[in-house]
A and B are shown apart, each in its own frame.
Chain A
């Protein structure tokens, strides 16, 4: 009999090894189950049942199973939305509840899903296959589904589903009007009416008093100052609040309060957030204009203002706040008094001559003339001279109208 060392260990170690083995099998079962457990399996099974009930078992067999996706190589998008939203391409679910609803045919005619995918328009996280992740309602995903329910969270006026129009405008930003994008169209009209370009550069055209807005939509949410914003802390909420009352959000702004309605402010917020660069192949933009040019009437009116008798006030920037109506200058914002009769108006308001006031201004004008529009003494002299001319014209017109009334 050869020597054999007795060991005390097997008695405890063998059962321990067995327990570890069981744990290992358990962990295998768990990770296997966790990989199988996805919402889409349920949705696919349920859809198959609906098709079977509606169109028979033969059609139900045609319903694909497993993860489905639109891979759009040009846009580098893999949109797996159709894994659950299987009814999008089926007729007969026009009034169905999501995720079983036929996609309206109209938008797909010009934007075939094979070429655009889903998330180009709808937002959301195309890569994901679980509900919350795919809808982008998770941390670290900044392109949530632009859904009706998100619109409801923001209490969007008129059309709760309007948020998706932001994505329309990524490609259609140079359109004057885009079919189906009513909120964006409203906002674009407001941009023209309120003369935003007097202060802001938009689409590479406009003034320099306010920040360039051409790519303001790229500003990261972290880069806004939320200290004065109550409620949701998002870039969108910030813009809505800012449009309604600029000074309430940024104290030292010179942007006037245009008294926008909630609907207008929301539309404008959507518009500015859509102003960002998008990496889209040129062929995708075939149908949309590539530049934002003023209409001939706009160009002519602008030219008249710029070269007319009041041209100096336009070039200097005074016209942003002040009209000089007698010289044909119309201010987009009109937050300052008309300068046609400034010579007597300054006297009556401040008790000082116009020369004296411009040399040493007080109130708002002291801020504007020290920060936004800095004039040399020579330029101030020109201003006074031009204002005198305007006043002469004003008196002339006043006399004429008085004459015209009398007889």
Chain B
């Protein structure tokens, strides 16, 4: 690469003020070449030329956004071959998944990667949201025209899309696990007063989970939802750039103390058009000062590569070790006991059952409260929260800022409740949604013969 740029440089006639055009390099010799790498490369063009060292820190962002993107990439890459192998028909879907499991070369691994990447994506995207909340990164700092609150809204929408992507994928194997998880999920939708049954009918394309449901979920899963997520992802990244990078870069103390900027001999400075020369004595605070920042190429690019490849390696290893479940073929006549929603909705199912009250005289269905009102409220609160957060701009991008203590605490408590309820739903609920301690055995599942 370097020899090529040298070759090109030597061929170009040099003239005063004309710089020979060099190709970009992953090992730039100067800041200018590093900047060229960003502007000349399609894959790297969304990077800024320079990035603050504070933003590079592992323990600020934990690179959860990058990991989410890597997982999204991985679901797409592993999903493409699955598209050619899976048949979205109620008669053949289960069989085609069995073939993927047993006889397709690398089929079991592909399905494992797709499934594990999808589950991890739910986790990592959620953790990313948690990080952004706890650091107040949705706040606008010192930059001009920042719209971080809107990027937060996009982020919340992307979390919901991630959940929907996972949920639509859940049905596709057409086994008992899939069928009943979707039954539970869509039944919750039908508890909305007045329009509930119509919403459910719209979701599943009829009154029963059948071929119409499968094709609806399938097309959503492979076209509309990933497409929407891709568009939002691009918008999300664009906004990050427009808002000046990670929120942490905004914090005043990040910029080194004002110092005399050494004049650059290749630049001509003017001062209000009055003074002109090559050596002004300017005192400035600059985020791009060499002590505070590094070039995006290679440092940011390398780290993004580390995170992406590490994510792929971890998922790939997990896919070898963990086998994807495939239960009996879907059977509308036999309800597995317990019938559980996908794990990320289990906190809702738990609330639904806990708020369902039977007395001698009346029954209160918890489905509307636990399945619609509560999650709706949580999503609504999350979405509008940046407009309610009145803390100072100075704490933007600061972990557990003192002035945001109360809201962080409430957020963490709600999060803890969700985690605990999810754990209870996953591990402690047995047949008939009975409570079992971890040391208590569930009654064994009967077989035919």
Interface residues of chain A, those whose CB is within 8 Å of chain B, are: 2-10, 13-14, 16-17, 20-21, 23-24, 26-28, 30-31, 34-35, 67, 76, 78, 80, 123, 127-130, 133, 139-144, 146, 150, 163, 166, 220-224, 226, 233-236, 273
Chain B, range 283-316, C-beta contacts under 8 Å to A? 290, 293-295, 298-299, 302-303, 305-306, 309-310, 312-314, 316
Nearest B residue to A32 via CB reads B106
Q: Does the CB pair B106–A7 fall under 8 Å?
A: no
**CA of A130 to CA of B103 in the docked complex: distance in angstroms?**
10
Decide if B109 touches A7 in the complex (CB within 8 Å).
Answer: no
Min Cβ gap A147→B in Å is 11
Q: Please name all residues of chain A whose beta carbon is closer than 8 Å to the beta carbon of B128 when the two chains form the complex.
A: none
Q: Is B380 an interface residue (CB 8 A)?
A: no
Is A4 a contact of B449 with CB atoms below 8 Å?
no
Query: Which chain B residues (93-119) contact chain A, with CB distance < 8 Å?
Result: 95, 98-99, 101-103, 105-106, 108-109
A24 touches B293 (CB 8 A): no
Contact across chains for B30 and A2 when beta carbons are under 8 A apart: yes
User: Which A-B residue pairs are the 6 nearest by beta carbons?
Assistant: A2-B30, A27-B316, A220-B334, A221-B446, A23-B313, A127-B98
Contact A6–B316 (Cβ < 8 Å)? no
Indicate if the CB atoms of A31 and B299 lie closer than 8 Å.
no
Q: CB distance B299 to A20 under 8 Å? A: no
- Are A16 and B446 in touch, CB under 8 angstroms? no
B331 at the interface (CB under 8 A from A): yes
Residue from A2, A16, A130, A223 within 8 A of B31 (CB atoms): A2
**Interface bracket on B:** 35 or more
Known pairs A9-B56, A24-B313; list 6 more (Cβ under 8 Å).
Answer: A2-B30, A7-B295, A9-B299, A127-B98, A226-B446, A233-B447
**Are B446 and A30 in touch, CB under 8 angstroms?**
no
Please tell me if the beta carbons of A31 and B319 are within 8 angstroms of each other in the complex: yes
Q: Are B302 and A17 in contact (CB under 8 A)?
A: yes
Give the Cβ gap from A166 to chain B, nearest Cβ, in Å.
8
Q: Are B310 and A5 in contact (CB under 8 A)?
A: no
- Which residue, A5, A16, A23, has most C-beta atoms of chain B within 10 A? A5
B448 touches A273 (CB 8 A): yes
The answer on a CB contact under 8 Å between B103 and A235 is no
CB distance from A370 to the nearest CB of B (A): 28
Q: Is the CB of B447 within 8 A of A142?
A: yes
Once the chains are docked, how many angstroms separate the CA of A5 from the CA of B335? 64
- CB neighbours (8 Å) of B393 from chain A are none
Is the pair B302, A234 in contact by a Cβ cutoff of 8 Å? Answer: no
Docked complex: B357-401 residues within 8 A CB-CB of A? none
Contact across chains for B50 and A17 when beta carbons are under 8 A apart: no
- On whether the beta carbons of A76 and B95 are closer than 8 Å, the reply is yes
A3-B31, A9-B303, A127-B99 are known contacts. Are A30 and B328 too (CB-CB below 8 A)? no
A35 touches B302 (CB 8 A): no
Query: Once the chains bind, are A10 and B449 in contact (CB under 8 Å)?
Result: no
Once bound together, how far apart are the Cα atoms of A221 and B445, in whole Å? 9
Contacting pair A80 B105 (CB below 8 A): no
Shortest B98–chain A CB gap in Å is 4
Cα separation A273 to B30 with both chains bound (whole Å)? 80
Interfacial chain A residues near B336, Cβ < 8 Å? 222
A3 lies within 8 A of B264 (CB): yes
Given contacts A140-B326, A220-B333, A234-B448, contact A4 B31 (CB under 8 A): yes
Instruction: Evaluate contact between B449 and A150: CB separation under 8 angstroms.
Output: yes
**B38 nearest CB across to chain A (Å):** 14
- What string of 1s and 0s marks CB contacts (under 8 Å) between B241-267 and chain A? 000000000000000000000001000
Q: What are the interface flags for B78-99 relative to A under an 8 Å C-beta threshold, 1 for contact and 0 otherwise?
A: 0000000000000100010011
